[in-house]
Amino acid sequence: MLAFFRRSIIIGVVTAVALLALFPDLRTQMIDTPVNLVPLEPSTQAQVSFNYAVRRASPAVVNIYNRRYNAEDRLKLSTQGLGSGVIMSDKGYIVTNYHVVAEADQVIVALQDGRILTAQLIGKDQRTDLAVLKIQAENLPVIPLSPQYKPAVGDVVLAIGNPYNLGQTTTYGIISATGRAGMSFYGRQDFLQTDAAINEGNSGGALVNTRGELVGINTASFQQATDIETYGISFAIPYELTHKIMNKLIADGRVIRGYIGIEARDINPVMARLYDAEQISGIIVMGMDPNGPAAKAGFKVQDILIEVAGKRVTDRRNVLDIVTELRPGTEVEMKVLRNGQPTSLNVLIGDEPADY
C-alpha cells in the first residue's frame, strides 16, 4: 500500500515538472493571477426629494407675530399669537389668514433672511379667512405662481410654515379632496383638503406643489377647527380664490360683494315636475330678505331662478358666485319661472351686509 502511494506521488511530481517545462507561462499565472473584482454600479433609481420645491418657495414664507397692547399698560405691547404668511409680490404684499391678525394691534413679520419688519394691515375678510399685509423692504423673495396649475386629488403638496414657533418647517402629503364646501368654521368657499400636517402657527403659510408653486394658503386642521381629535385632515384656501380676494382687499380695503337677499334650494328633476317646470336647471326661492333687492324687484317664494345677468343658473353655489362678483348699484336682468311661465325681473344689486 505504501509503495502504491509513493509511486502516485512521484508520477504526479514528474508530470507537473514536465508541464512547467513545456508551458512556462503557467508558472507566472500560478503566482500572479489577479482577482477581477467587478465594481458595484451606483443605483440608477433617482432619489425622491422635494428640495427644489422647498428652495424655491420657502424664502417667501414668513413668520407673523400678532402683538396686542397690555390691558393694564397701554404703552406695553405683548405677543399674543403667531402664524405664517406668504409674500405675493415684490411690492411687499403678504397674504395670511384673517384669524392670525384679526385682533392684532401690531403685526411683526420675520423673513427667513433675518429681517424683522412691522407690517401695515391693508385689509381683511372674515368670510374667506384671508388678510393682506404690506411691508416696506427691498429685494423681497416672491412665491412662485402658476395660474395654469389646477390642483387635483392625488397631487403631492408641501405645507410650509412656522408651527408652534419652532422655526420654518415643511410637511408633506397629497391633496385629498378639492371643492370642500360648507365648512362651518369659515365662510362658504370651497377648500382644498390635504393630509399634510398643519399645526398652530402654520396658518397663513404656503401650500405648494413639487415645483414650489403656490397651490393655496394653509388655514386649519379639522381638529383645530372642531376640537375633534383627527389626523390627516387639513384645509387650504385655493390660490385662485386667494388671488381674487387679495386684489379686492388691495383695491378697496375690504371685499365688496353683491347681494340680492334670497334663500333658495337646488332644484332636481323630480322637483321640476312638481313645480310643472320643464327647466330642471335652477334654484327655487324659499324665502327672502323683506327689504332686500330681490323682494323689491318682485321676486316671490317658489319662483325658480334660471338666469342671472345672462348667465345660466345651475345651483346655489353658482348663483352665489355670480351675484357676489356683481358691483353693488348695478341693475341686472334675472329670469325666473313662475307657475311654469318665464318672467324677467330687473334687480338692483345691493351691498352684502357685514353679518350675512
Task: Give catalytic residues, as residue numbers.
Answer: 99, 129, 203
Q: Is 264 among the annotated ligand-binding positions?
A: yes
How far is the C-alpha of 289 from the C-alpha of 293, rounded, in Å?
Answer: 8
3-state secondary structure the chain: CHHHHHHHHHHHHHHHHHHHHHCCHHHHHHHHCCCCCCCCCCCCCCCCCCHHHHHHHHHHEEEEEEEEECCCCCCCEEEEEEEEEEECCCCCEEEECHHHHCCCCEEEEECCCCCEEEEEEEEEECCCCEEEEECCCCCCCCCCCCCCCCCCCCCEEEEEECHHHCCCEEEEEEEEEEEECCCCCCCCCCEEEECCCCCCCCCCCEEECCCCCEEEEEEEEHHHHHCCCCCCCEEEEEHHHHHHHHHHHHHHCCCCCEECCEEEEECCHHHHHHCCCCCCCCEEEEEECCCCHHHHHCCCCCCEEEEECCEECCCHHHHHHHHHCCCCCCEEEEEEEECCEEEEEEEECEECCCCC
Q: Is 262 among the annotated ligand-binding positions?
A: yes
Q: Is 261 among the annotated ligand-binding positions?
A: yes
Q: Is 258 among the annotated ligand-binding positions?
A: no
Nearest alpha carbon to residue 56 among 79, 94, 82, 87 = 87
Report the alpha-carbon angle 303-304-307, nearest 5. 125
How far is the C-alpha of 234 from the C-alpha of 182, rounded, in Å?
Answer: 15
Task: Confirm if 205 and 184 have CB atoms less than 8 A apart.
Answer: no
Q: Is 250 among the annotated ligand-binding positions?
A: no
How far is the C-alpha of 291 from the C-alpha of 286, rounded, in Å?
Answer: 16
Q: Is 265 among the annotated ligand-binding positions?
A: yes
Annotated binding site for substrate: 260-265
